[in-house]
Structure 1
């Protein structure tokens, strides 16, 4: 049931575990975006789109806040 996309995600996650530093805001946003994108596509396959959509709607203001904070500090 594993697809190449999920296998690639595992390799990316394993690479980040080896890094003993805190990720930058950009990296954090990219990782969150990737995780929720994977959840979105897996939910479409399982027809559970509504639960992922609700979770995404909760995350969206957090990401927007992080982006605006980063822009203020530049």
Structure 2
């Protein structure tokens, strides 16, 4: 799939996230700990369904993000660096909540309150 065929203009080369090179004049540097795992999740999801011209379902995205979350969680425990892990995922949660409606936010907060997540 070519981004030109889809008429999508990317602000940066997608390889930037994988190489760890970020422009200094943007706030991307602040969010690279969040953007790189999400980019890898998107890349993995796209690679799996390369021959299927469809958008991944919400369930597919949740499964992929959960697997990344789990890997990073155990990595943080092994490195004894849980604060960085928590900060990254809290920031991701804030970004995701900023993108959804108020009704969805209320639903999310209720589930978080009930299940203690």
* Cα-Cα RMSD: 3.2
Tell me the distance in 2 between the aligned counterparts of 1:24 and 1:42. Answer: 27
TM-score normalised per structure 2? 0.38
Larger radius of gyration: 2
1:17 — aligned with what?
Answer: 47
Query: Cα offset for 1:38?
Result: 0.7
Question: 2:86 aligns to what SS in structure 1?
Answer: helix
2:91 counterpart (30, 33, 58):
58
TM-score normalised per structure 1? 0.56
Aligned length: 57
4+ aligned runs moved over 3 Å, structure 1 = 13-16
1:35 counterpart (68, 73, 98):
68
Question: 2:55 aligns to what SS in structure 1?
Answer: coil
Residues 51 and 23 of structure 1: CA distance in aligned 2, closer, same or farther (over 3 Å): same
**Higher share of residues assigned helix:** 1
* Structure with more contact order per residue of length (Cα contacts < 8 Å, sep ≥ 6): 1
Query: Cα offset for 1:16?
Result: 6.3
1:46 — aligned with what?
Answer: 79
Structure 2: runs of 5 or more not aligned: 1-42, 108-117
Structure 1: runs of 5 or more not aligned: 1-12
